[in-house]
Amino acid sequence: MTLAKKDVLEMESLSVEEIETILDTAETLKEISTRPIKKVPTLRGKTVVHFFYEPSTRTKISFEIAAKRLSADTVSISASTSSIVKGETLVDTAKNLEAMNPDAIVIRHSAAGAPHLLARLVEASVINAGDGMHAHPTQALLDMMTIREKKGRLAGLRVAIIGDIAHSRVARSNIVGLNKTGAEVILAGPPTMIPMGVETLGAHVTYHVEEAIKDADVIMALRIQKERQQAFVFPSEREYSQCYGLTEKKLVGAKGDVLIMHPGPINRGVEIAPEVAEGPYSVILDQVTNGVAIRMALLYLLLGGPR
């Protein structure tokens, strides 16, 4: 199996077949991480550059582990320690990286569209590890893998996404991906956090969290990302938690086999109560485990074949 494209930039440009190929491949590769020797030689001699303009640990480590378990060589650039960034345009940085013959560049950037610009400029495969408020396709893919793994399918499921939809690249990528694969998406959150026109992406909107929870097969709580908001668009964390935080009390009305998800890192007691995050319905750590598998799958599908 390969992916007949150079880059993975957003869910919009992946077909249903491509999404299924990625999920199937990830399921196969997941087993490698449980072996005593967690390593296959598939990408030996490939160079993967991890280019993180925004701070990140979870995603960066997940990508690094994925690359290393496939035997790729990795080099890292982070904005904070990087002179390449200072006074140099992304265009020049891209061309310079390209000149060193990397096979893939994994990029996280605060500017929406940066990975797309990079992809146009380089022959290397580009994987978007999160760009501004735009897209985070590997997060959506690992979420979809986790749902499919637990529920056996995506089509026909109801997925509630709760929280700050407007500032969330995770929500956006999930809405698009889930919609493509036949799941129904319901969004709930404070009116200030629901962008106008989001229904055009194929999601329903409600301002009543209980309504979203009631028939959901999956409930995804989003992280309140203060660092991405101009001003905190809700009176207080406490009030947010009371209205929209996932608590055991609110889940009384949920289905008996509901899945609770969160992209992490968690603000405990704000968007999700600790007893819910660690409760029997939570698949939050499965998401993390599947993150490594999804990233292995993408690197394998983009670089593994005879390009």
The smaller minimum CB distance to its own copies, of residues 24 and 98, is found at 98
The smaller minimum CB distance to its own copies, of residues 42 and 179, is found at 42
Q: Which stretch binds its own copies (CB under 8 A): 91-99, 117-125, 181-189, 245-253?
A: 91-99
- Burial code of 114-125, b = ≥16 C-beta within 10 A, e = fewer? bbbbbbebbebb
The answer to the question of residue 236 lying near its own copies (CB under 8 A) is no
Structure tokens at 140: 């959506």
The answer to the question of residue 100 lying near its own copies (CB under 8 A) is yes
The answer to the question of residue 229 lying near its own copies (CB under 8 A) is no
Report the nearest approach of its own copies to the CB of residue 268 (Å): 7
Give the three-class secondary structure for 189. coil
| Sheet arrangement for strand 47-52 | 73-78, 47-52, 104-109, 125-131
The answer to the question of residue 35 lying near its own copies (CB under 8 A) is yes
Residue 108 known to be catalytic: yes
94: which residues sit within 8 A by CB, 6+ positions away?
117, 118, 121, 122
Alpha carbons 238 and 269: distance in angstroms, whole number: 9
The smaller minimum CB distance to its own copies, of residues 13 and 267, is found at 267
The answer to the question of residue 219 lying near its own copies (CB under 8 A) is no
Give the three-class secondary structure for 122. coil
Residue 69 known to be catalytic: no
Residue 58 known to be catalytic: yes
The smaller minimum CB distance to its own copies, of residues 112 and 288, is found at 288
Residue 268 known to be catalytic: no
The answer to the question of residue 123 lying near its own copies (CB under 8 A) is no
Torsion over CA: 77, 82, 84, 88 (sign): positive
274: which residues sit within 8 A by CB, 6+ positions away?
268
Q: Residues 21, 59, 74, 181: which is the catalytic one?
A: 59
Which amino acid is present at 221? Answer: A
The answer to the question of residue 238 lying near its own copies (CB under 8 A) is no
The smaller minimum CB distance to its own copies, of residues 2 and 206, is found at 2
Q: Residues 60, 108, 116, 223: which is the catalytic one?
A: 108
Task: Among 19, 46, 106, 145, indicate the residue that binds its own copies (CB under 8 A).
Answer: 46
Instruction: Tell me 192's DSSP state.
Output: G
Alpha-carbon separation of residue 74 from 61, 66, 194 (angstroms): 11, 10, 38
Active site residues: 58-59, 86, 108, 136
> In the complex, which residues of this chain contact its own copies (CB under 8 A)?
33-39, 44-47, 49, 55-58, 61-62, 64-65, 68-69, 73, 75, 77-78, 80-89, 92-93, 95-103, 264-268, 285-286, 288-289, 291-292, 306-307
